[in-house]
Structure 1
Amino acid sequence: MAGLSGSRERRVLGGLTVRGRAFVAAGVTAVVCAVVLGQETLAGAGVLAVALPLASLAVVHLGRFDVHLSRSAEPSHVSVGGTAVVRLALTTTGRVPGRTLLLDDRVPYALGARPRMVLRGVGRHWRGDVTYAVRSDLRGHYETGPLLARAEDAFGLVQVVRRFRRTTTVVVRPRTVPLPDVPLGGGSGASGDDRPRASATGSTEDVMVREYRRGDDLRRVHWRSTARTGELMVRREEQPWQAHTTVLLDNRARAHTGDGAASSLEHAVVAAASVCTHLARRGYAVALADAEGRVLARATPGAGAGGLLDTLAGIDAVDVAHLTAPASVTSADPGVTVAVLGRPRPGDDVVLERIARASSSALALRLDVDRWAAPSRVASALASPVTSPAAPPSDAALPAGSDPGSVGAPPSSGVPRHGWRTAVAGPADPLAEVWVRLGARWVPDLAAAGGAR
């Protein structure tokens, strides 16, 4: 919410309107003509024409007209296609010229038409609220405002303008798709979906024992282990295990195609947002990273994915050629890595192999960028309800260059060379079904899926 806009935050402009200047010009001309022609009556009319706008200007300034504004957007964070309401709370002081207030608020083109409003019957110490709705089909961070307020006297000769500097931010988050629970794998023989819940509050598994050392509190003696080993053992309380995951979004411009909401990059953002929301809801600590290896945002368990979605709302394509392993993956406790990848590029296989080796589990949702289609197909695919996984397409139905083993092929024997579980998604593939395939399928080689282009 934007706070009260005080006198320090606005510029005051007051002066003659076009009509007022025309009156002055006509009056001066009449006076000059009257002097030249010796017409006293014409001179009186000219003086009246000049005096009327100047008197109106003096009255307006002596009236000490002022406007105060507070503005907000409710809600300030919406999903693509959602509606936010911008509220302008106005308070006037002093004498309002003409008792009519004209409002003009600036709004980005993506949020709709520029609102222009007329308030009548505005007087001294008047209070009122004005609202208008904004909506966007494109994610992003948008600024509404600043507001321009104008008032004219009853004759339309003098205008007072108030320009406010405060703006209101409306964050349009990417749309998310509910994802079903699938085994992600998290090392130590536990699935990523079960492990966070079991360790969220700690248990007896978190209690470890070690040999007694001089100075240890005797109240920490673990008698059962002492009896079993014959040595004095004490409890060593360990911090509960926490599930970590990194969501890697391939936002390289060279790895995607298309423009606007119909581009493969937007589909990748929707997929990353859906994965972040799903994992945060499951109790994971989530780190969001881009193709340059930068960790853009983090979400702690229980905090939700709001901050991650806000970051994804403003993410753009980057002009880099190669992927970079995020620092969250190369740390001591990398956890699960989920990558949303575009078209493979030369050299990606080396980075992906390094990420897979450092992760306890590595899953990749690769977009088959060459199959991208129109916006209507993208929208209908993402809006499809969660159903049982569709039958895999036949090899003949796949375009040349795609990997039939990546979509619905039977699990391969052994561990893939790069250690990735992979699923390929096209614009017509419901994201929930691709996520189910990702939890159940193994393919021989991520880099070979589609080949480097």
Structure 2
Amino acid sequence: MFSLRLFRPRGWILLAMGALALLLALVLGRRDLLMLAVFCCALPAVACAAVYLLKPGFTVKRTLAPALGRVGSPVTVTLEVHGRTPGGGRVKLVEELPVSFRDVPTFSHPHPVVPRGLLSRYHYSLHPAHRGVFTVGPLRGQFSDPFDVTYVQRGLDDGDRLTIAPAAVELPPISLTDGRGQDGARSTPELAHASHDDAMTREYRYGDPLRRVHWPVTARQGKLMVRAEESVTTPEAALVLDRRAQAFGEGNKAIERFQIAGHSMVGLPELRTTAAFETAIVAAVSIAAHVLERGYLLRVLDHRGLPGFASSPSAPDPGAEEYSGSQGVFDVAASLAALELSETEDAPVAPFINGLAHKLHAGRRRGPLMAVTGLLSDAEALLLADMAESTQSAFALLLCSEPHEVESALDILRRAGWRATALTPGTHLEQAWLQLGQPAAIAGRRP
């Protein structure tokens, strides 16, 4: 890729001087003026051909740190450029960036503090204000001839992909599961294969304490038998993220109004989102981090029961549903970076129906269920309310502009056993999360 600027001001001046000398040579019949005219006209043409035909060999290595950026946290970019121009002149390097990053960094090559022709290293910082997938680069070089008559701009690389994830909010601890303490993080002990006595026992081994001897099975088997060791299972939680466009805006006009401008997506248009959905994204990444850091295995689903990040171009594994540990925190954040609202269909699939219920009922260890939704009608709230049957505890954050918009839905959920509260633009996420642990959030809970 290159862009050739025909001449610099010096080139146009030479051409003007050549034209004037040619005119005077014809009028005055002076051969020396004719030679000057030929020189002034030929030099820009030769310089233009030289910078176009002589392609410099440059190598560029770009390093982004951290590999996964976060909204509001700086990303350091390191450029390592090696190469020289055929004439040995300096090159102006320009890094192309999406419009939302504003400042375009420029450098001079070779670096002033290193010898000519050696590796030059440059650093600059990006300050992302929005989540998304961006292209950093390409790095372009402006190459000029030694006489500074003309120059050509060439792309030196193809750029690199930068993923900016939403920044998680540190949530205060609340009780997630009945009888599990403040944060519900205690593992669940279970007897291995506890279907019958024989399956719970094994032969005595030297060193086993006598208190573990299972005497009825010992008498039946005719040899000393002890109770099997307890196995510890990882507690399981589920997160349901509503992605319905109509639940987070007022049709296409609202979605267009809140589109994030300036995204340079990798083969994609701007994010399809709204201000309310951006709040839901922050809530989802915060809840996921909170749960995963407490040792849970987290299953993430959307409002239809499909894998929560199946349509996200930034997801490391779009088909994955389960996440655990620190790697799970990273994968969930990366997947949320480019997640969009689902497309509005003429005959949309009803949310919170059989597909989602089947996934939740199929859980081996039914732990807490957390839902982050937009506006819910009474019928939709009733469908979601039934999901509490498959869990030990259920929590819901309903995104809305004013609390009265979701009063009826909150009442339906609370009567079904959910801890539910509204999350408005004027409410901090930490405050709404704490409300889920208060009696007001579980008013009307059935026995």
Instruction: Give the TM bin, normalised by the shorter chain.
Output: 0.7 to 0.9
Partner SS for 1:265? helix
Residue type at the aligned position of 1:425: L
Partner SS for 1:353? helix
- Give 2:73's aligned residue: 82
**Matched residues in 2 for 1:283 and 1:266: separation?**
26
Residue type at the aligned position of 2:363: A
Q: 1:228 aligns with which of 216, 219, 229?
A: 216
| Deviation larger for 238-247 or 25-34 | 25-34
Q: 1:74 to 1:401 in 2, by over 3 A?
A: closer
Count of aligned positions: 393
- 1:424 matched to 2:403: no
- 1:171 matched to 2:159: no
- 1:111 matched to 2:111: no
The answer as to whether partners of 1:246 and 1:288 remain within 8 angstroms in 2 is yes
Deviation at 1:204, TM superposition (A): 7.8
- Give 2:265's aligned residue: none
- 1:242 matched to 2:234: yes
- Give 2:388's aligned residue: 356
**Matched residues in 2 for 1:56 and 1:243: separation?**
71
Q: Which runs of 5+ in 1 are unaligned?
A: 1-10, 372-398, 447-453
Deviation at 1:343, TM superposition (A): 1.0
Q: 1:197 aligns with which of 186, 193, 203?
A: 186
Residue type at the aligned position of 2:375: R
For residues 219-298 of structure 1, the aligned pairs below 5 Å read 224=212, 226-229=214-217, 230-232=219-221, 240-257=232-249, 259=258, 263-295=275-307, 296=309, 298=322
- Give 2:338's aligned residue: 314
- 1:73 matched to 2:64: yes
Deviation at 1:243, TM superposition (A): 1.3
**Matched residues in 2 for 1:330 and 1:363: separation?**
16
Q: Which runs of 5+ in 2 are unaligned?
A: 261-273, 310-319
Residue type at the aligned position of 1:331: A
TM-score by structure 1 length? Answer: 0.72
**Matched residues in 2 for 1:220 and 1:25: separation?**
102
| Deviation larger for 316-325 or 28-37 | 28-37
**Matched residues in 2 for 1:402 and 1:14: separation?**
60
Residue type at the aligned position of 1:329: L
Deviation at 1:279, TM superposition (A): 0.4
RMSD: 4.0
- 1:154 matched to 2:146: yes
- Give 1:184's aligned residue: 176
Residue type at the aligned position of 1:45: L
Deviation at 1:444, TM superposition (A): 3.7
- Give 1:449's aligned residue: none
Deviation at 1:123, TM superposition (A): 6.7
TM-score by structure 2 length? Answer: 0.73
**Matched residues in 1 for 2:20 and 2:244: separation?**
67
**Matched residues in 1 for 2:276 and 2:67: separation?**
27
**Matched residues in 2 for 1:248 and 1:204: separation?**
27
The answer as to whether partners of 1:95 and 1:123 remain within 8 angstroms in 2 is no
| Deviation larger for 284-293 or 265-274 | 284-293
- Give 1:329's aligned residue: 360
**Matched residues in 1 for 2:77 and 2:342: separation?**
32
**Matched residues in 2 for 1:429 and 1:16: separation?**
58
Deviation at 1:234, TM superposition (A): 7.1
The answer as to whether partners of 1:139 and 1:172 remain within 8 angstroms in 2 is yes
- Give 1:341's aligned residue: 373
Q: 1:332 to 1:281 in 2, by over 3 A?
A: closer
| Deviation larger for 227-236 or 300-309 | 227-236
Identity %: 24
Deviation at 1:150, TM superposition (A): 1.3
| Deviation larger for 329-338 or 102-111 | 329-338
**Matched residues in 2 for 1:204 and 1:290: separation?**
31
Deviation at 1:284, TM superposition (A): 0.7
**Matched residues in 2 for 1:156 and 1:271: separation?**
56
Residue type at the aligned position of 1:172: I
**Matched residues in 1 for 2:326 and 2:72: separation?**
27
Q: 1:145 to 1:227 in 2, by over 3 A?
A: same
